[in-house]
Structure 1
Amino acid sequence: MNRVGKQRDVNYFLQLQNIGLFGLLETKIKNKAFTKAASTFSNWCITTNNGYHSGGRIWVVWKPNLFRVNVLEYNAQYIHMKVDSLEDRRTFWFTMVYAFNGMHDREPLWDNLRRVACAVSGPWAVAGDFNCVLSASERVGGSTPSSEMEPFRRCVSDCGVMDITAVGALFTWNNKQKPQDRIYSKLDRFLVNKAWCDSFTDVYAQFLPEGIFDHTPCILKSSNQGQTKRCFKLAKNLKQLKPELKRLNKEGYSDIENAANILQKQVEDMQEVINKDH
């Protein structure tokens, strides 16, 4: 299926999930192909950071009858905006992130997020693929040096943000290798400040099962089923938008089981160490 066909699948998915604003990361759609690709999202508004990175990295897409979006800053690693929800007349700040792979390349991102945190004056969410974990427990099958995690930790602390309440998949990415070489990581997350927690008390994140997209998609939902809000969505890589149900059935669940077995072994090893200490 061609890329436009896959984007039609996205439209269908958005309708099923009742989504009014979403982000797409690692789109790999350059400027010359943007008009054709964007035409598949009829009645949606789209902004990208293509002008700041030639490869095409971040799209933010929304329905203008549901949200008013004012983009405040573009960057190679994020798009920062002020959003007005037209349904409930609430305002929040939203930063969609797709961090660079290299530790040193991410340093400007952490500094910029600190600056953004000082500028917002209300509910703020910063979400996306940070290409880094916050702790060793968020990576299985490999290791991340503390020197790589620490800058991210300091940024989160300095910005005064925390993970939103979440359900679903813990690990949001894996390297798709055979089980003995498989690496799982939590690279994608939805971070919010205190003002967000105070304003959106019933909102939580659901991380969908692996296999539907390249990374695990994240959807914001309301726990108040009687007053379900239009939700955000964060997805990764337009190249794998079509659900691969056969592969999910064959590999996805066995991957999850393998990760659970690895974690169980780690817990048992830790418990053994604790028992020896006592």
Structure 2
Amino acid sequence: MSLEKEALSTIPIWVHLPALPMEYWGERCIRKIAGLLGNVLKIDNATKNKDRLMYARTLVETDIRKGLPDEVFFTNEYDELKPPRREWVNKESQKDQTKAQIKQHHDNSETCETMAIQSPEGNIESESQCTTITEPRGEPHKTLQQGKNVRGLNKANKQAEVVHFIANHISLFSLLETKVKRQGIGALYQIICPSWCITYNLALQKGGMIIVAWRAEEMKVDIRFVSSQIIHLIVNPNVGDNFNCSFVYGATDKKERGIMLTELENIGTTVTGPWIVMGDFNYIANLNERIGQKSRLHEIEPLRRCMVNCDIHDMKSTGRFFTWSNKQRGNARVLSKINRELENSAW
């Protein structure tokens, strides 16, 4: 038996293929493309199920003696030469980058100059609603705009409306209550924002209640928490400081909504620097936020308690005050404000 050490020549590494066009997301295509780098051992489940469309991820066995190429090209079905963008995943460097981002966040927490955010939610019958929100510190930067809840995104006219909605220099947006099933996400992505990165909570909530999309060339996004009612991000724009951003869609069930508030409070304990929370909370926070039906103190206490515990408050905004209607007329009509935008004192 030989006790000499064998020279290590091959190692498995996780390879990311960012911004891979949807037509190449089949397992055979991914294996062929990643196969240019070595022996493909595995494709992760999120890639197989198309749960995360910001990049395809594969485990590839590579020969370290040859080194890693700077570029990899492949020829598509039209004999066009394509260079897939790729990143070599190094967990240690990711940790160092995270520490650097946290340090930068503390060093630059005085102001928060953000990219534009547009989040479709809230609906009064079929009318369009748009709330313009004042930027942090009152500086003349781009505005954050919160639009209307899409309430189903499977029809062409709804999709066209969203495409028009995000065409106005938007870099980060969220869609709520899309009602898009898993098999329809790829087609929706191609129609609405084919060059964007997206994430969603479809695996945790049937009907795709929250979709978040951003322009990767303008910002880096760290997805910190995803549940059936919340997607929480840390956003690092190319211009300006990092900020925390949470998109919420409260359940109709009272007990589940309570879980959402607990999750928000848990997120609040980890937040440093600017934080904005926006979406459909399915709660009112003040007695005057519902007309046509009596408001009671026990209905507003849960959200108000959460706001105090998280140290967040309503942002200054303009636009429609009531965001929901029961679509009735006359004395039977009920209007309420269940959509809102909240900020902490660092925003």
TM-score after normalising by structure 2: 0.54
Counterpart AA for 2:229: Q
- More deviation, 174-183/24-33: 174-183
What is the aligned partner in structure 2 of residue 59 from structure 1?
211
8 Å CA contact retained: 2:154, 2:180? no
Counterpart AA for 1:161: I
Please give the alpha-carbon distance, in whole angstroms, between the structure 2 residues aligned to 1:132 and 1:2. 27
What is the aligned partner in structure 2 of residue 151 from structure 1?
302
8 Å CA contact retained: 1:27, 1:57? yes
Please give the alpha-carbon distance, in whole angstroms, between the structure 2 residues aligned to 1:124 and 1:75. 18
Please give the alpha-carbon distance, in whole angstroms, between the structure 2 residues aligned to 1:46 and 1:68. 12
What is the aligned partner in structure 2 of residue 135 from structure 1?
286
Q: Tell me by how many angstroms 1:3 deviates.
A: 1.7
Please give the alpha-carbon distance, in whole angstroms, between the structure 1 residues aligned to 2:289 and 2:313. 15
Bigger-Rg structure (1/2):
2
What is the aligned partner in structure 2 of residue 174 from structure 1?
325
Cα deviation code 1:201-231 (max 9, x no counterpart) = xxxxxxxxxxxxxxxxxxxxxxxxxxxxxxx
Counterpart AA for 1:141: G
What is the aligned partner in structure 2 of residue 36 from structure 1?
187
What is the aligned partner in structure 2 of residue 161 from structure 1?
312
8 Å CA contact retained: 1:26, 1:57? yes
Please give the alpha-carbon distance, in whole angstroms, between the structure 2 residues aligned to 1:83 and 1:93. 6
Counterpart AA for 2:318: V
**Structure 2 residue ranges without an equivalent (≥5):** 1-152
1:121 is aligned to 2:261? no
2:166 alignment partner, SS class: helix
**Structure 1 residue ranges without an equivalent (≥5):** 197-278
What is the aligned partner in structure 2 of residue 84 from structure 1?
236
8 Å CA contact retained: 2:245, 2:276? yes
2:242 alignment partner, SS class: strand
Alignment of 1:230-249 (within 5 A): none
8 Å CA contact retained: 2:201, 2:209? yes
Counterpart AA for 1:164: M
Please give the alpha-carbon distance, in whole angstroms, between the structure 1 residues aligned to 2:278 and 2:154. 28
Cα deviation code 1:229-260 (max 9, x no counterpart) = xxxxxxxxxxxxxxxxxxxxxxxxxxxxxxxx
Counterpart AA for 1:77: Q
Please give the alpha-carbon distance, in whole angstroms, between the structure 1 residues aligned to 2:160 and 2:218. 21
Q: Tell me by how many angstroms 1:62 deviates.
A: 1.1
From 14, 23, 30, the equivalent of 2:166 is 14
1:90 alignment partner, SS class: coil
8 Å CA contact retained: 1:52, 1:76? yes
| Paired-residue identity, % | 36
What is the aligned partner in structure 2 of residue 74 from structure 1?
226
Please give the alpha-carbon distance, in whole angstroms, between the structure 2 residues aligned to 1:37 and 1:109. 27
Please give the alpha-carbon distance, in whole angstroms, between the structure 2 residues aligned to 1:26 and 1:159. 25
1:119 alignment partner, SS class: coil
Q: Tell me by how many angstroms 1:149 deviates.
A: 1.5
What is the aligned partner in structure 2 of residue 188 from structure 1?
339
8 Å CA contact retained: 1:174, 1:182? yes
Counterpart AA for 1:73: F
What is the aligned partner in structure 2 of residue 94 from structure 1?
245
Q: Tell me by how many angstroms 1:2 deviates.
A: 6.1
8 Å CA contact retained: 1:45, 1:61? yes
Aligned residue pairs total 194
Q: In proportion to residue count, which structure has more helix?
A: 1
1:109 is aligned to 2:260? yes
Q: Tell me by how many angstroms 1:128 deviates.
A: 0.2
Higher RCO (CA < 8 A, seq sep 6+): 1
From 177, 192, 197, the equivalent of 1:45 is 197
Cα deviation code 1:29-58 (max 9, x no counterpart) = 011111111111121111100011122110
TM-score after normalising by structure 1: 0.67
Cα deviation code 1:145-185 (max 9, x no counterpart) = 32222111100111000111111111111111113211111
Counterpart AA for 1:55: G
Q: Tell me by how many angstroms 1:5 deviates.
A: 4.2
Change (3 A) 1:171 1:90: same
Cα deviation code 1:124-154 (max 9, x no counterpart) = 1111000010011010111233222211110
What RMSD over aligned residues (CA atoms) do the two structures have, in Å? 1.5
8 Å CA contact retained: 1:4, 1:37? no
